[in-house]
């Protein structure tokens, strides 16, 4: 995976739609993420419950999903590669995510990251980080159907991340998006990126968590990330985001 800029816009539930992604793509981001998008009735049901308790989520009916993604991607067309962050809890959901992402996306990102209890209860998001066997079984059957780069996104410090990377790497996954969430501080746990990099020279790492300035971004890159992902800052301070994106323009440096 080669991008023109080191900065990737991360998925923000209910926020990073085509229009939002376009704004960040126009700033020069290396790639932007649409989603998280739910690809089966289980995760859609979970999102509906999450919206009910006040969270922002994309709730798209299954029969309108393909059209929705097609239209949202069209808004960003030509500006930056589009990652589709896929939430699913079933094999059917995974297959749907692969099929639609192949058609309209540039990269598919499988979500093992979402920690919302409604998603985990249905066997999606972080459930796969706790219990990866089922997803590995599905990937063994379906990985050859994926025609675009595939990313596994997970949160650090919730399970043995070295083991998790190894399991998916053994099944042919080469790109990992690691949310370097610190176990108890409001700071990123950069060491986790370094630990994973030291044992996996052959993977691409997208690292992120609380990146709000060039120094933190550089720290991620020095400690083993190939790319950095930024989420909240895109809502909080677009000018800061622009400064970071401009700094990490690969073509410029």
Q: Which residues would be at the binding site for another protein (CB under 8 A)?
A: 49, 115, 117-118, 120-121, 123, 126, 130-131, 157-160, 183-184
Residue (147 or 160) nearer to another protein, CB: 160
| Cβ-contact 196, 176 below 8 angstroms | yes
DSSP three-state, residue 154: strand
Of residues 102 and 157, the one with the C-beta less far from another protein:
157
Instruction: Please tell me the distance from the alpha carbon of residue 129 to that of residue 40, in angstroms, as a whole number.
Output: 19
Query: Would you state the structure tokens that stand for residue 241, as one six-digit string?
Result: 């985001």
139: tokens are 């990937």
For the chain, what is the total number of helices (H) and then of strands (E)? 12, 8
Least separation in angstroms between CB 71 and another protein: 33
Please, which residue, 90 or 101, has the CB nearer to another protein?
Answer: 90
At closest approach, how far in Å is the CB of 118 from another protein? 7
* Nearer of residues 131 and 236 to another protein, judged by Cβ: 131
Helix (H, G, I), strand (E, B) or coil at 150: strand
Alpha-carbon gap, residue 91 to 48, rounded angstroms: 21
Q: Cα separation of 76 and 142, whole Å?
A: 28
Contacts of 137 (CB under 8 A, 6+ apart): none
Least CB distance from residue 191 to another protein, whole Å?
14
Cα–Cα distance measured from residue 5 to residue 31, given in angstroms and rounded to the nearest whole number: 8
Query: CB of residue 94 vs another protein: minimum separation in angstroms?
Result: 19
Nearer to another protein, 144 or 184 (CB): 184
CB of 53 to another protein, least distance (A): 9
């Amino acid at each position: 995976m080669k991008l023109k800029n080191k900065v990737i816009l991360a998925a923000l539930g209910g926020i990073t739609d085509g229009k939002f992604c376009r704004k960040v793509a126009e700033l020069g981001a290396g790639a932007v993420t649409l989603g998280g998008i739910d690809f089966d009735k289980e995760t859609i049901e979970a999102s509906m419950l999450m919206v009910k308790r006040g969270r922002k989520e994309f709730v798209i009916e299954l029969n309108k999903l393909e059209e929705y993604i097609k239209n949202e991607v069209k808004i960003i067309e030509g500006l930056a590669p589009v990652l589709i962050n896929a939430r699913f809890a079933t094999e059917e959901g995974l297959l749907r995510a692969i099929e639609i992402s192949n058609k309209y996306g540039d990269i598919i990102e499988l979500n093992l990251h979402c920690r919302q209890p409604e998603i985990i209860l249905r066997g999606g998001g972080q459930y796969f980080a706790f219990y990866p066997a089922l997803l590995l079984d599905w990937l063994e059957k379906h990985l050859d159907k994926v025609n675009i780069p595939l990313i596994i996104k997970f949160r650090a410090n919730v399970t043995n991340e070295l083991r998790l990377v190894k399991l998916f790497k053994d099944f042919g996954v080469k790109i990992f998006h690691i949310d370097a969430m610190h176990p108890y501080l409001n700071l990123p746990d950069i060491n986790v990126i370094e630990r994973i990099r030291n044992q996996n020279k052959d993977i691409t790492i997208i690292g992120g968590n609380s990146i709000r300035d060039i120094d933190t971004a550089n720290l991620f890159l020095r400690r083993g990330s190939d790319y950095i992902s930024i989420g909240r800052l895109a809502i909080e301070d677009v000018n800061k985001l622009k400064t970071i994106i401009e700094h990490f323009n690969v073509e410029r440096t």
